[in-house]
Amino acid sequence: MHKQKGFTLVELMIVLVVGGILVALAAPNMRVYLLNSRLVTTTNALMSDLALARSEAVKRNNDVIICTADDPMGAPLCDGAGGDWTNGWIVFSSTDGTNDYDPVKEGAQHRLLRRSDGASGAAVTLASNATADARVIFESDGTINSAGATANFAICDDRAEDHGRLVSIGPTGRPELEHGEPGNPLVANTCANP
């Protein structure tokens, strides 16, 4: 008589139960990982584009503007709604003193440097204060044209200030990052009113 090889039904059920328990334990951690990843991705994209705008302003010796756009990947215009940067932004160089990108002037007075499709994931929001309202203008010396005020950008999700991030740009033009943690959140209402 040949001995049968394989698993018994009882052994298979035990493996499935143990596997189910492991998946149930890992699922909440995966959600936190995905939420954190979206915040980091959006923050890094903004910080990178701010650094690009500042360095290009110095390199080109003229204004470089980063402005909010409703459809940056389609029609790159500075047409975003006030302090809401969630849909994306564009970075462009301007030699004619205007602060709105004009595709007709591309190559002559305006040069589109970068486009970003904004916040990563539906739950992430990106808002700015009145100073950065719809644009930040970096001047040829790398400073921002803000009359001494600080431009703030809040990157948040449904966990609000506990996990939110705040990018601040002082008059010197250097972006700085602050992030909240459970037990040490950002200042209250930062996500709603950066």
Q: Do 156 and 121 form a contact (C-beta atoms < 8 A)?
A: no
47's CB contacts (< 8 A; 6+ apart) are 167, 175, 177
142: left (phi over 0), alpha (psi -120 to 50) or beta: left
Q: Is the pLDDT of residue 50 over 90?
A: yes
- 9-179 topology per CATH: minor pseudopilin epsh fold (3.55.40)
Q: How far apart are CA 119 and CA 179, in angstroms?
A: 16
The pTM of the full predicted model, rounded to 2 decimals, is: 0.80
- For residue 122, the model assigns a pLDDT of 66
With H, G, I as helix, E, B as strand and everything else as coil, classify residue 137: strand
- For residue 1, the model assigns a pLDDT of 61
The two tokens of residue 171 are 């008059």
Q: What does the mean pLDDT of the chain come to?
A: 84
Domain ranges of the chain: 9-179
- For residue 53, the model assigns a pLDDT of 93
pLDDT by residue (tens digit) across 89-131? 989 998 887 777 878 888 888 888 999 888 866 678 888 886 6
CA distances from 37 to 62, 85, 179 (A): 35, 19, 13
3's CB contacts (< 8 A; 6+ apart) are none
